[in-house]
């Protein structure tokens, strides 16, 4: 089970023959990808972006190739997933979770191409005709209520029917009285400016007394959810906070597989889970997480702070989820050349993404554009003043 078996009959995609990684620099972060080739001339792509550890994810993906992928049949996704996870003793964690996720995406891309069908046809088909998305990353100016309101209006004018933002600046643990008032004033200004769904991001950084206070302060503004108000080191207290909350509590982007999610489900920590298709195990694992969420009467709103490749893969993955609600996207804040580099990524139109039609994920990486925009390895500190401007150092 934990070695590649090349004696079994091979499927229509052939066997994995080569694995490579590519990285693309942008103003905000570097995007990283894995491309898997087969001896039948097919190739599939997946996203392995880590905000700070691009070299590490690339190195692990290439090492995984020699240990678990070369000679494998791409259709054996369950076995390959287990081989990577168990064979490498991953036991969770961000770098391993991201690499397994990206490779799983690439294998589904190959399978779809081999069969001539979009990847979503392999993962439950479609429960809906399009995927509703919400905008994030749009508030990169000054942290002032008027600035947030003006930018929110611009997002809505582009057709989005929902948006998310973190109004809390560099707050960690507690907020001073002045910072709390400033944060709530920002929320109030956005709510007054736009009549759409708004979601509030907590970035898992408040102590219980502050999180509880924020529930009361946010209640008048018809918030769709409060995301990650507490650190996940205090997961048991999420359920306590959830019982007090006048709005849904969401979270889960930091977990990388069903084993890490087990405590979230066991404690009833959230109303809405937010697995990331490029962190939580790819198609193979996120489908299982969605099924478990349905058992617990939870909705699925996938996290997606990555590139249009992850957006497109997430659309394929969520089309067949009965308990899906909405998908995150940062695509509206990216440079035009990103879309040239990942040709075929699905576009956002009026706050939605339609049914894919091309085989697999429908994306090809354009090497020439990658060569023109190499990675920079920059860093931005979410706990530093002005982080929301996303100026890298």
Q: Is 37 designated active site?
A: no
| 68 part of the active site | no
Whole-angstrom distance, CA of residue 174 vs CA of residue 168: 10
Instruction: Report the C-alpha gap between 254 and 318 in whole angstroms.
Output: 19
Catalytic pick from 203, 234, 254, 296?
Answer: 203
Measure the CA–CA gap between 71 and 58, rounded to whole angstroms. 20
User: What is the Cα–Cα distance from 17 to 15, expressed in whole angstroms?
Assistant: 6
How far apart are the C-alpha atoms of 41 and 211, rounded to whole Å? 53
Positive/negative CA dihedral, 227, 232, 235, 237: negative
Angstrom distance (rounded) from CA 55 to CA 360: 27
Please name every residue paired with 33 in a beta bridge, in sequence order, or none if there are none: 22, 47
Selected catalytic residue, list 256, 303, 316, 373? 303
Residue written as token pair 């290439």: 62
- Torsion angle, CA of 364/368/369/373, rounded to 10 degrees? 130
How many other β-carbons are positioned within 10 Å of the β-carbon of residue 221?
16
The catalytic site residues sit at 203, 303
């Amino acid at each position: 089970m934990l070695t590649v078996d090349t004696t079994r009959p091979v499927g229509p995609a052939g066997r994995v023959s080569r694995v490579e990684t590519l990285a693309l620099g942008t103003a905000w972060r570097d995007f990283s990808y894995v491309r898997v080739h087969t001896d039948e001339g097919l190739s599939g792509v997946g996203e392995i972006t880590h905000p700070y550890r691009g070299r590490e994810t690339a190195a692990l993906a290439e090492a995984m190739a020699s240990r678990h992928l070369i000679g494998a049949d791409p259709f054996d996704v369950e076995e390959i997933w287990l081989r990577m996870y168990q064979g490498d003793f991953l036991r969770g964690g961000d770098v391993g979770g991201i690499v397994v996720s990206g490779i799983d995406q690439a294998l589904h891309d190959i399978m779809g191409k081999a069969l001539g069908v979009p990847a979503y046809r392999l993962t439950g088909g479609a429960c809906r005709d399009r995927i509703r998305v919400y905008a994030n990353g749009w508030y990169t100016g000054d942290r002032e209520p008027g600035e947030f309101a003006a930018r929110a209006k611009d997002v809505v004018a582009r057709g989005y029917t929902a948006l998310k933002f973190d109004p809390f600046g560099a707050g960690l643990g507690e907020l001073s009285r002045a910072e709390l008032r400033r944060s709530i004033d920002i929320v109030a200004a956005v709510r007054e400016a736009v009549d759409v769904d708004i979601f509030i991001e907590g970035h898992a950084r408040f102590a219980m007394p502050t999180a509880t206070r924020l529930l009361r302060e946010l209640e008048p503004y018809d918030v769709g959810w409060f995301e990650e108000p507490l650190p996940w080191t205090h997961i048991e207290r999420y359920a306590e906070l959830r019982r007090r909350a006048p709005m849904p509590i969401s979270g889960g982007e930091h977990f990388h597989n069903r084993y890490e999610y087990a405590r979230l489900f066991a404690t009833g920590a959230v109303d809405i889970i937010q697995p990331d298709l490029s962190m939580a195990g790819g198609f193979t694992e996120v489908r299982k997480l969605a099924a478990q969420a349905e058992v617990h009467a939870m909705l699925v709103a996938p996290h997606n702070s990555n590139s249009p490749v992850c957006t497109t893969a997430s659309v394929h993955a969520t089309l067949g989820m009965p308990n899906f609600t909405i998908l995150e996207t940062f695509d509206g804040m990216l440079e035009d050349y990103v879309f040239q580099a990942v040709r075929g990524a699905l576009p956002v139109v009026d706050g939605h993404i339609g049914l894919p039609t091309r085989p697999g994920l429908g994306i090809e990486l354009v090497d020439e554009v990658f060569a023109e925009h190499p990675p920079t390895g920059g860093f931005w500190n979410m706990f530093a003043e002005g982080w929301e401007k996303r100026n890298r150092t």
